[in-house]
Structure 1
Amino acid sequence: MSTPHPPAPHTRLASGPEGAAALRPLLDTVLAALDSGRRARGGPLPAGGPEAVTARLRAAAGDILPEHGDPQALRVLVHALAEGAADPADPLCAAHLHCPPLALAAAADLAVSTLNPSLDSWDQAPAASALETLVTRALAHRAGLADAVVTTGGTESNQLALLLAREKHGGGVRLVHGANAHHSLPRAAWLLGLPDPVTVPAPAGTLDPAALDTALTDLAGPRGQLLVAATAGTTDAGLIDPLTEIARLCAAHGARLHIDAAHGCGLLFSDRHRARLTGLDAAHTVTLDLHKLGWQPVAAGLLAVRDPADLTVLHQHADYLNADDDTDAGLPDLLGRSLRTTRRPDILKIAVTLKTLGRTGLGALVDQVCAHARAFADLVDAHPGFDLYDRPTISTVLFRPTGAADDTVAAVRRTLLTDGRAVLGRARPDGRLWLKTTLLNPHTRPDDLAALLALVEGTTPR
């Protein structure tokens, strides 16, 4: 009987008896390549713009499917990715709701990739399915609701909220949302074949209750046929709709209420800022997203529900995954917990973060980024060369060079991007173009904020 040959080094498996030994040297390679790529980049994002970045990546990748493999591919491609990345941990990378993930959350994500559970049946993810139940309910209770399911982020959560409303109240459900709402809400209405949404004015960046009252009166119909979507943390400015007043109007008009708190849900952990979400618990469904103000690697979304019975419409039967006799024998049925079938347990990194930091630890991070935003707004407001749009509600600050034309503002942003010196967003809250900073790095220092403003000042033509 011949002795089996050991597997080639690059075909060893990540789990099993040899998993740790196989991973350890590869992790060293990845960490070294991440560091060398960061140093080669030298700033918050790569210089040169799309053509230069693409050219460097193609040169590094070469033939991506060669006849014979390249044992250096891991090092080369991780280096290339890091060199060409926008690093959300860099204080000058402050454009989007794109957070720098906590190291402990990223480490937990490695365990998920190694074990590779799939949450479409209990026998593929026994412990992960139990952990998901614990964590989703704890987070739902924190928001004042009963249960939650895991999603890929705010967009999927918003789509799922509209689906649950449609299945409960019929295909005539009509979405009513503010002009400040996330684009995924009207898009979800289109995807689900619902009537054209009604857009309510948001003259100060938040949904106008008086205009909502008028719209609901004009659209009066059977109870539940109107679905109002409010926002707790707008994408452009981080503003929060008047949730309590909106909830009162929904109750008076018999409308269903969904709150998109993808941005603002992190305030739930903060004693200082949680009151800004008063009224959240009046919603039928709430979008939560911890890869924003939760410092999680993508993806880490949830949809919380007031009535767990709403989720029963998600149930599907596939004999190979949830046979009736298996379910009757006590094996949990997971197909009613998502629109997806194969699904990685993104809940582990969230659970590790919650357990390690606790509510007060996460709340402290939220308080820090909110304080950074206030400090940056103070710098802008005190500078004669800049206009401040408004005081920040969460951690987003809008500003622009005084007297600059919109074309100049846009050119300043693109110049900083192309040079690889800073990543700023853009918004048009009042018809004019503003530069947007979304401060999500809790370890940002006052000098970093001053440097960011100085970069914009030095790039603005006079």
Structure 2
Amino acid sequence: MSSSPSSTPWSTPCGTPPLAGGPGGADALRPLVATVLDALHDGAAARGGPLPPGGPEAVTAHVRDALADVLPDTGTGAEEALHALVTALAYGAADPAHPHCAAHLHTPPLALAVAADLAASALNPSLDSWDQAPAASALEQLVTRALATEIHPTGPAPDALVTTGGTESNHLALLLAREHHGPTLQTVCGANAHHSIRRAAWLLGLPEPVTVPAPDGTIDLTALAAVLTDLRGPLLVTATAGTTDTGSIDPLSEIADLCDTHGSAFHVDAAYGGPLLFSATRRHLLTGLDRAHTVTLDLHKLGWQPVAAGLLAVPDTTMLDALAHTAPYLNPDDDTRAGLPDLLGRSPRTSRRPDILKVAVTFRALGRTGLGHLVDRVCDTAQQLADLVDKNPHLDLYERPTLTTVLFRPTDATDEAVAATRRDLLTHGHAVLGRAHADGHLWFKATLLNPHTTPTDLDTLIALVEGSTTR
């Protein structure tokens, strides 16, 4: 029988805390996990809504009170420290599991994925050498190659790298293109592209990207053709499958045709929209994705994973050769020749968590049908919200949603009023809505990623917006 936290030596300030791994790891974790779960419940119950009321000063004061002395002379013990700080963090969280927390591409993670992440943390393999992560490195290879094959089904040897998210994946895509085409590589992106494309070009010492207009939220093909005709030298065209502001998807097949005509490399940032591949009814929206040389995917968006769960997929694993790197204490040549997997070329990072475990568990548990159901459910929820806005004489809808993003605003409201209403909802803890500029106006942005959101939740969200607008 395992001891309760209050009776174990390590729960007292002078005890030596046990480790999470090994034969005794489960017994050590079990009471602590119970404490964490209680604290998560208590913090969320005290908060009551999608985020704490009072704004930054109130939240900071609450955390300061809970934290007290950052490094006390005498510790308070495991149970007290866990309960106090986890409760404070849960109370002060913007809870993506609340149906009115709908501002960002910040998904509520599935419970099974969080449970798998606990196992990953407890085992703590580091994927920078095989002798630190034998099973984790094998799992990563199997899952990433299967995922890459979903994206590039006819590629000669599809492969994918695990990243921290869309930003790192986009950075790696530009890095690989630079190493293949040279430092004069010119990136061409739409005005709708994620900010990480321009930032990656700057970090890599590449020329400032050429921006193509996207007047309707997607790349203007005529303008793109003109740009590609005028430019000289190696080119990389980046398209987006699921823009941050509107969830729009660029015309991938047509862009791929232009890239073929002009001999340009082609990258697709599908961090948001990539999981449409799992939906039998919506995967056609990604037609042409398989023609990209590199594809960004981010499963802590429409994949319901805890951060981080990004990937960069390529149709041929040899395209990753530029990342090869040797450190004698991690991947000496004789070990590699003897058959030990070389992991350093799988990331620009050295120490890496086994983030693929939670993805593998989710895929095994839900299968393609279950994942597709979740994708379809949240997309359908976005259509329901669009219907409510369309029928409301006091609200304007920007456009029908492609994915799960809905832009709307009060009719005749000024941009200043929209911004003030959003902040009012935030500081009172009523709702978390994003903001986006389109058609010369500021819009509320609802990014609906919670598959448990109900029509009643949507009605309440609209009522909250209207109530705050009239104050």
| TM-score normalised by L of structure 1 | 0.97
1:243–1:278 CA contact under 8 A, matched in 2: yes
Aligned to 1:368: 377
2:227 maps to: 215
Q: CA deviation at 1:100?
A: 0.2
Q: CA deviation at 1:461?
A: 2.3
**What is the aligned counterpart of 1:160 among 172, 181, 206?**
172
**CA distance in 2 between partners of 1:260 and 1:37 (Å):** 36
**Correspondence 1:136 to 2:148:** no
1:16 correspondence with 2:22? yes
Q: Deviations over 1:395-422 (max 9, x none)?
A: 1000000000000000110000000000
Partner of 1:119: 127
Cα deviation per residue 1:353-381 (whole Å; 9 max; x = unaligned)? 01110011000000000000000000000
Unaligned runs of 5+ in 1: 1-5
Superposed CA deviations along residues 304-362 of structure 1, whole A, max 9, x for unmatched, are 01221110111111111011111111111101100000000100000000111001100
Q: CA deviation at 1:8?
A: 2.9
Shift of 1:7: 6.6
Matched, 1:332 2:341: yes
Match of 1:34 among 21, 24, 40: 40
Q: Deviations over 1:247-304 (max 9, x none)?
A: 0000000000000000001101000100000000000000000000000000000000
1:11 maps to a residue whose letter is P
Tell me if the contact between 1:399 and 1:436 (Cα under 8 Å) persists in the aligned partners.
Answer: yes
Q: Is the 8 A contact 1:95 1:423 kept in 2?
A: yes
Partner residue in 2 for 1:182: 194
How far did residue 431 of structure 1 move?
A: 1.9
Structure 2 counterpart of 1:83, which letter? Answer: Y
- Deviation string 1:37-66 (CA, Å, 9 cap, x unpaired) is 001111000000000000000001000100
Report the Cα distance in structure 2 between the residues aligned to 1:188 and 1:7, rounded to whole angstroms.
50
Identity %: 70
Maintained 8 Å contact 1:317/1:323: yes
**Equivalent residue for 2:105, pick from 97, 100, 118:** 97
Residue matched to 2:400? 391
Off by >4 Å, runs of 4+ in structure 1:
none
Quick check: 1:118–1:125 contact (8 Å CA) kept in 2? yes
In structure 2, the gaps of 5 or more residues are: 1-7
CA distance in 2, matches of 1:346, 1:103: 15
Shift of 1:433: 0.2
Q: Is residue 190 of structure 2 the alignment partner of residue 193 of structure 1?
A: no
What's the offset of the Cα at 1:430? Answer: 1.6
- CA shift, 1:88, in A, is 0.3
Q: Whole-Å Cα distance in 1 between the matches of residues 386 and 117 of structure 2? A: 35
SS of equivalent to 1:11:
coil
Deviations 1:148-188 (A, max 9, x none): 00000000000000000000010000100000000000110
Contact 1:220–1:253 under 8 Å retained in 2? no
- Structure 1 counterpart SS, 2:346: coil
* Cα distance in 1 between the residues matched to 2:38 and 2:10: 23
Match of 2:388 among 379, 393, 416: 379
Residue in 2 that maps onto 1:237: 246
- TM-score of the aligned structures, taking structure 2 as reference length: 0.95
**SS across alignment from 2:271:** coil
Aligned alpha-carbon RMSD (Å): 1.0
Tell me whether 1:272 sits opposite 2:281 in the alignment.
Answer: yes
Partners of 1:369 and 1:245 in 2: CA distance: 28
* Residue 74 (structure 2) aligns with: 68
Q: Equivalent residue for 1:310?
A: 319
Distance 1:196 1:53 in 2: 39
CA distance in 2, matches of 1:411, 1:403: 15
CA distance in 2, matches of 1:326, 1:7: 43
User: Do the aligned residues in 2 keep the contact of 1:120 with 1:334 (CA within 8 Å)?
Assistant: yes
Question: Does 1:449 pair with 2:455?
Answer: no
Aligned equivalent of 1:203: 215
Q: Given residue 413 of structure 1, which amino acid in structure 2 is its aligned partner?
A: R
In the alignment, what sits opposite 1:86?
Answer: 94
CA distance in 1, matches of 2:202, 2:161: 23
Measure the CA separation in 1 of the matches of 2:209 and 2:341: 38
Q: Which residue pairs with 1:281 in the alignment?
A: 290
Q: Secondary structure at the match of 2:329?
A: helix
Q: Which residue of 2 aligns with 1:3?
A: none
The residue that corresponds to 2:116 in the other structure is 108
Aligned residue among 27, 52, 59 for 1:53: 59
Matching residue's letter, 2:198:
P
Looking at structure 1, the residues matched to 22 and 299 of structure 2 have their Cα atoms a distance apart, in angstroms, of: 31
